[in-house]
A and B are shown apart, each in its own frame.
Chain A
Amino acid sequence: MQSNRRQVFAALLAAAAARKVKGADTPAVPGKRPMILHNDRPEDLETPVKYFDSWVTPIDAFFVRQHLPRPAAVDPAAYRLNLTGLVSKPLQVSLADLQNLPQHTLPATLECTGNGRAFYTPKLPGIQWGRGAVGNAEWSGPRLSDVLKLAGVDPAARFLEIDGADTGVMQTPDFVRSMPMEKALHPATLLALKMNGQSPDIHGFPARLIVPGWDGTSWVKWVVRLAPVAKESGGFFMNPGYRYPKYHLPPGTAARPVELEVIEGMPVKSTLTAPEDGSKAVLGPIVIRGFAWAGENAVERVEVSIDGGARWRNAQLSAQKLPFAWRLFTLNWTPQEPGYYTVMSRATDTAGRVQPIVPPWNPSGYLWNGIDRVGVTVEKA
């Protein structure tokens, strides 16, 4: 597993080097800096770890995961959100209607369910995300509960079904998700019209669901239909897609379909952003940096080790201790001797969850949250 990680990191560094040589023949994605290009049609872009240098991730550096081709450009005046299903009065809502509801802003970390898939052994099909299918943004828009109130939710509704404007090519299934009504009505669950104060653009313009603490798949983009329903939706992206085994499996084995559950809240996790993996540093003070997040919880503590996990020290955490949003951490370290150091980070959340050394292998490669590690070679000045 570790050599696998090394390979991936080395590969990403090589890709960055190759870019300098190759230049113009690789596609650009409008509005985005150079990103790790897992796919260009549709766009699947990973943020290089070195871009993570702020609490709020800029849109031009934010990762992109597209299951289906991006829908045709939306005319804001023509946009309508359909409220159907178990409601008192079915309704079509305009963008202006949504803008007229009370607006709320929430900082929240969005992570692709498969972030870190490349680190699992045996390997799994899917996008081979490394560490950068995650970002922290400030999302603004009405509460989803206020939107649903416009149509009136029938008390018989147990789930909310959500459909985005994107549709599949040929018989590729439509991207439809559902979530329990309790989460849909949670005051932190928003229908975002803005991301970092700007148009969400490729991240779901004009309306994108914000489901704080839950996996990225729940955060449906380009929302065009909300339907309170009696039962969980059954489309591909609910079942068999985006499920996780109830009981841990021996690596490489199949799960019993009845023992696969819908993923909801995300685990506790940390990512080191400095020093860069495989980098060199001059003997002297070094700042170890990173970020940590914990699904629906807040981060309580991040510990850092510079000796491969033998001893751990508490890192300094950024002051805001919020549920749903990541915290930045730093540790000032002055190595006494030159040589190669394995730097590791381990987060603990407010519920007492701790990052594992070995995250459970699962058949779709979801929820990787192993203790993070980078290697740095310290040399005499």
Chain B
Amino acid sequence: MMRTALLLLASALAAGAADQATIEKGQKEEQRTCLPCHSLRIIHTNRLSRAGWSKELDKMAGWGTKYTDRDALLEYLVATYGDDKPVTPPEMSADGRTKQ
């Protein structure tokens, strides 16, 4: 039991370390490909499975997004905003009323 847990932990750490560079590349790809059309809040409040994120990337490709590193972007989204990640609250906007 203990040994299995340790093995799982080790493999998770290894996977995490191996993915770090990819995740950073994915984050850059997000800046490059998503920001021209919309801000990132609408992405970062979602929590989706790998299949779910992949479908979203396909939808955006259909709407004109040209990926240079789709795989890295997908890895980054799954690692950061996967459906196993806790929900983070949306921020409140600042007061936009004109001061009287």
Spell out A's residues near B (CB within 8 Å). 7-8, 11-16, 18-19, 22-24, 26-42, 44-46, 48, 60, 118, 122-123, 125-128, 168-173
Contacts and interface: CB of A to CB of B under 8 A. Distances in A.
B78 interface: no
A169 B95 CA distance: 28
Interface residues of B, number: 32
Interface of B: 36-39, 41-42, 45-49, 52, 55-56, 62-65, 83, 86-98
Contact of B46 (A14, A34, A37, A125): A125
B97 A31 contact: yes
A21 to B, nearest CB: 11
Those 7 A-B pairs whose CB atoms lie nearest each other, nearest first: A170-B64, A11-B89, A15-B89, A171-B64, A28-B96, A19-B92, A28-B94
Contacts of A23: 94
Contacts, number: 118
Given A27-B94, A170-B65, A172-B37, A38 B89 contact: no
Contact of A26 (B55, B62, B93): B93
A60 B97 contact: yes
A38 B64 contact: no
A36 B65 CA distance: 28
Nearest to A130: B90
A32 B96 contact: yes
A18 B94 CA distance: 12
Contacts of B93: 26-29, 32, 34-37, 40, 45
Contacts of B56: 125
Given A122-B83, A125-B56, A170-B63, A33 B97 contact: yes
Nearest to A121: B83
A15 B92 contact: yes
A37 B45 CA distance: 10
Contact of B45 (A18, A19, A38): A38
30 contacts: A11-B87, A11-B88, A15-B91, A15-B92, A16-B92, A22-B91, A26-B91, A27-B93, A28-B93, A28-B94, A30-B96, A30-B98, A34-B92, A34-B93, A35-B93, A36-B92, A37-B91, A37-B92, A38-B42, A39-B42, A40-B39, A46-B90, A60-B97, A118-B87, A122-B49, A123-B52, A125-B48, A126-B46, A170-B37, A172-B37
